[in-house]
Amino acid sequence: MKEAIRRRAAELGFDACHFTTAHAPASRENFQQWLAKGWHGGMEYLSRNAPKRIEPEKVLVAARTIVTLAVNYGSPSLVKEGRLAASKSGECGDQRENFSAPINVVVAGQIARYAQYQDYHDVLRDPLKSLASFIDDLAGAGTRSLWYIDTGPFLERDLAQRSGLGFIGKHTNLIHRQLGNWIFLAEIITTTEIEPDSPEQNRCGTCDRCITACPTAAIAAPFQLDARRCISYLTIELKDAIPVELRPLIGDRIYGCDDCLTVCPWNRFAREGELMKKHARKDLMLPDLIKLLSLDEAGFREMFAGTPILRTKRRGLLRNVCVALGNVGNETVLPALERAATDPEPLIAEHARWAIDAIIARHPGS
């Protein structure tokens, strides 16, 4: 049964398939301590469903096995094409060194690599549903399986490590020895009893590149992330104003951050993911910040339809765009920011005013 499930998973496009029990992860106390510190910030859903997260058997009565799955979204060709496009157009692909774009140059923003595709929840839904049905059919009558794509109340990285799929790195993300850390995770919890795989051990060694690479020092210590300082949290999960002291550290990032993932040496083994490749959105590699700032509600929905970026809503994305322009823009972007400063959405207007002040301070007399 185990090998049959693995073969079917591979046929459906999954890059890795492992098995573990439905028992509570040994790391559940670490999660509870993390919540107690308040490091989850405004992600109240994490504390709300904590009892299920620390006890998977509460998700599905009589559960015996959790199937952990990975899909690689690493895309070396997209990165190469993005840099080439930036070079040809004069865009600054990486503006974080000096945080200042030359006059009359298109000012591009950075979007986390995973969001440069159609929404992975939509892409993986059918393959995962098919695999869950396959398990039920294979196991026979009375079997029940539920599937989740990072939406279920699981400590999915902990379960993935226990299943041998990968190990949790010092940046708190999962690392697969053959795929690197550019992976989406999914799970199927089932009443079928399947022999568990052996756990994976941590293989970070003395490496601390991810810790030193974090622009906001969000990785407080190895394996300890203060989400309140993480750029992914600040630009995606946070619904209110970005703390003023953290805005300059965001640089040109407008949706998520890949810095701690990018520097991981295990990525030297990463390969381009086949399942996600055909769902790439090349127009999101280096988006023009001025064009984004001009989007109305209809334009925002049209441009980002079917992508994870919809979840930030227009107010959240344009808030982020204003901060990025404040960090890397010059006097040529001031007219666009002045228009944004009159936006009826207060969150956008306030961040636009901050950006104007930041540019004027950097370019006196502008």
Transcribe 180-213 into DSSP letters. Answer: BT-EEEEEEEESS--PPPPPPPP--TT--HHHHH
Inform me whether the pLDDT recorded for 73 exceeds 50: yes
CA-CA distance, 270 to 293, in Å (whole number)? 34
Q: Identify the residue with better confidence: 217 or 53.
A: 217
Inform me whether the pLDDT recorded for 352 exceeds 60: yes
Model confidence at 92, pLDDT cuts 50, 70, 90, reads: very low
Residue type, 91: E
Cβ neighbors of 42 (< 8 A, separation 6 or more) are 237, 238, 239, 240
Structure tokens at 190: 């089932």
Domain ranges of the chain: 2-73+119-190, 76-117+206-362
The percent of residues in the chain predicted with pLDDT above 90, rounded, is 76
Question: Average per-residue pLDDT in the chain?
Answer: 90
Q: Identify the residue with better confidence: 141 or 366.
A: 141
pTM over 0.85: yes
What average pLDDT does the segment 245-254 reach? 98
The angle subtended at Cα 120 by Cα 115 and Cα 3, nearest 5°, is 135
Going from the C-alpha of 263 to that of each of 99, 171, 213, 250, the distances in angstroms are 20, 11, 7, 17
Q: Identify the residue with better confidence: 5 or 151.
A: 5
Model confidence at 105, pLDDT cuts 50, 70, 90, reads: low
117-128 burial, b at 16+ Cβ within 10 Å, e below that, comes to bbbbeebbeebb
Model confidence at 366, pLDDT cuts 50, 70, 90, reads: low
Inform me whether the pLDDT recorded for 141 exceeds 80: yes
Which residues carry out catalysis? Answer: 150
Model confidence at 153, pLDDT cuts 50, 70, 90, reads: confident
Helix-strand-coil split of the chain, %, nearest 5: 50, 15, 40
Rounded to the nearest angstrom, the gap between the alpha carbon of residue 204 and the centroid of all alpha carbons in its chain is 21
What average pLDDT does the segment 58-77 reach? 89
pLDDT the model gives residue 52: 86
